[in-house]
Structure 1
Amino acid sequence: MRDIAQLLLLDRDAIAALLSTELALTAVRDAFTLHCQREGRVFPVVREKLADGVFGIKSGDVAARDLLGFKAAGFWPGNRQYGGEPHQATVMLFDPATGRPVCLLDGNAITTARTAAAGELGAQLLARAESTRLTVFGTGVQARAQVAAALRALPALMSVRYVSRDGKPHARFEAALAEVLCNAPGLPELSGVRCISHAPDADSAVADSDVIITATPGGGALFTMEAVQPGTHITAVGADTRGKRELPDGLLARSRVVADDRAQAQALGEMQWAEDVACLELGDVLTGGAFTRAADDVTVFDMTGLALQDLVLGEYLYGAAVAQELGNSVAWPW
């Protein structure tokens, strides 16, 4: 069979035909459970700065499911001048028995969907259910995806404010958020109501919010610790590389901190700036670990992204593609 082996290629359009919010949420919940139960492994992350960007590899396996693979991904800000997406990602699945590549997947949509799904689970488990006001830092793809995720997790949310990098309103981002809000469950009464606004002052917006999402390149603290009010939940997305941060000094020490992976967060996430702060992992909370939230607790979900999220979602997509005969198979003798 070696000479007639095939490699399945799933490009952007094939992934779009297969991927759904529900599938991503199921896969990410599955990945966190596997991680918590130590049935899935995450290998040491490669994350290196380049002259024109950042390049990384996240890999892992689930032996009981014959799942092995990696995601090669990074951030190239110069892509914007060509009208391209700065984030680039590719997922590869292997046969663990032979090392033979089985499926190559475009990883951009996978990364966006699995990160949003993780944020949704975090908000559902850690934020106050009655939260009504949200502020998001950033105006990119992930900022949009995290707002949609928060609306799914917290249907009481009634308003969204955004803080932009240049301090100016972004009409395109507002239009994208308006579409998100119109499609959000439980919010039909918002049709025609002005519930999206630009926030020129970061601290004022934070002080008047129940939920904060930080989805920026992680160039430094985005607001002061004093602005964060009791009961606030923070989804921290942007710190995923040594030296990056979005949250101010001292905030983690006064917060209930939950990470996707403790060691990875201490190496690459917000916890690199507060390694001694106590921290739970989301998988433990998700599977019934002891976690109770007082009304005035500040909660922080430090998200650095798990290889298992990419691999399990990739596995689901591969299975669906085979079942539906989607994608392109190419000869890959070994």
Structure 2
Amino acid sequence: MPNDARLVLLDKDVVESLLLPDDVLEAVREAFVLHSQRQGRVFPVVREALATGGIFGIKSGDVPAQHLLGFKAAGFWPANRGLGGEPHQATIVLIDPATGRPTCIVDGNAVTTMRTGAAGGLGLQQLARPDSSTVCLFGTGVQARAQLSFALRLMPTLKQVRYVSSAGQPDPAFEALFSTRCDIAPAHDRNAAVADSDVVITTTPGASALFDPEAVQPGTHLNCVGADTKGKRELPDGLLQRVRLVVDDRTQATQIGETQWAPDTPCVELGDLLTSPAQFRRERDDITVFDMTGLALQDLTVARMLFERARQSNLGSAPAWPW
């Protein structure tokens, strides 16, 4: 009955206790497949600058056949660093599509980090050369850690990592996280590091191009994470015209991803590669780019998984939410 309704709340600690990489990979793969098969819908993205200096966005969607509906309210508040907090903030809400009532509210920070890392890992599996062994990574923050963790997990051929930190200095704490899994060290020259790498991963705030276009050699694959808002970019002018481009969603990529800088570039959606891999054959000298803008369906499938696991384990809180 409506007066007996409850709203499940999953805070940071509960979410992090339930987030397992293999489960997130499965949920993210499902999201891409649902998107490819047009069983899952992605609604227009809201992404707006605020007077406070932050950027606020909403990603939403549904899977009618699964009775899955919801949204993620998220963004970036750089001033949070001065408060000792995380600048990226995200909250996911699952909604009953039959009534419009919220059923679960999930702390979305860890979800966003891990589902984005999982999406990057799936992109590498589909697009990087199978014998890839060297990585150039831009960034050493939360998302850089997620991307590299999934890359090493899903591509055991990767042995050497050269990274470029935001300050251009060594990051011993970052190195320590991966020192037992790969040969990791700072890059002394970013263009040389790109030229020497089979895989390039960019996880910066997207303020400007990170390297020269001539640095990218035939056969390189690039996972691009940082361009998620109009005006952001990490790739240099002229590079997209040389690549085979894969995106998570065509519309989003042309609006807020790297593809906004060359919107007429032919592209394929990653979900289509997962459902029909024969349509994309990678030649050894192809330069491939995965433009990652983040699908609402990824947030929803992961949040649903957490909701179900929390109920099974009696985790989270469930205050009364009558109507």
Is the TM value for this pair above 0.5?
yes
Write out aligned runs for 1:47-126 (5 A). Answer: 47-51=47-51, 52-126=53-127
1:272 to 245, 260, 264: 260
Aligned residues: 321
**Is the contact between residue 124 and residue 154 of structure 1 (CA under 8 Å) also seen in structure 2?**
yes
Show the 5 A alignment for 1:273-292: 273-289=261-277, 290-292=279-281
Please name the residue that 1:163 is paired with.
Answer: 164
RMSD of equivalent CA atoms: 0.9
Residue 41 of structure 1 deviates from its aligned partner by 0.3
Q: Distance in 2 between matches of 1:5 and 1:202?
A: 55
Deviations 1:243-277 (A, max 9, x none): 00000111111001000001110000000000011
| 1: CA distance, partners of 2:164 / 2:50 | 28
1:105 partner SS: strand
State the secondary structure of the residue aligned to 1:117: helix
Name the counterpart of 1:187: none
Matches of 1:201 and 1:177, distance apart in 2: 21
Secondary structure at 1:6 match in 2: coil
Shift of 1:83: 2.0
Q: Are the aligned partners of 1:133 and 1:210 in contact in 2 as well (CA < 8 Å)?
A: yes
Letter in structure 2 aligned against 1:101: P
One-letter amino acid of the structure 2 residue matched with residue 333 of structure 1: P
Task: Determine whether 1:295 maps to 2:284.
Answer: yes
- Residue 261 of structure 1 pairs with residue 249 of structure 2: yes
Alignment pair present for 1:245 and 2:237: no
Determine the C-alpha separation between the residues in 2 that align with 1:140 and 1:248. Answer: 22
Post-superposition offset of 1:174: 1.5
Shift of 1:76: 1.0
Deviation of the 1:177 alpha carbon: 2.8
Residue aligning to 2:2: 2
User: Could you report, residue by residue, the CA deviation over 1:132-169 in whole angstroms, capped at 9, with x for unpaired residues?
Assistant: 11010011000011011111221111111111122111
* SS state at 1:97 partner: coil
Deviates more, 1:262-271 or 1:165-174: 165-174
Distance between the aligned counterparts of 1:293 and 1:93, measured in 2? 38
Structure 2 residue matching 1:250: 3-state secondary structure: coil
Matched-pair contact (CA < 8 Å) for 1:168–1:200:
no
Q: Runs of 5+ in structure 2 lacking a partner? A: none
Partner residue in 1 for 2:192: 204
Query: Residue 7 of structure 2 aligns to a residue in which SS?
Result: strand
Following TM superposition, where does structure 1 have runs of at least 4 consecutive aligned residues deviating by more than 4 angstroms? Answer: none
Counterparts of 1:112 and 1:176, CA distance in 2: 16
Partners of 2:150 and 2:54 lie apart in 1 by 27
Structure 1 residues not aligned, in runs of 5+: 185-189
| Paired position in structure 2 for 1:177 | 178
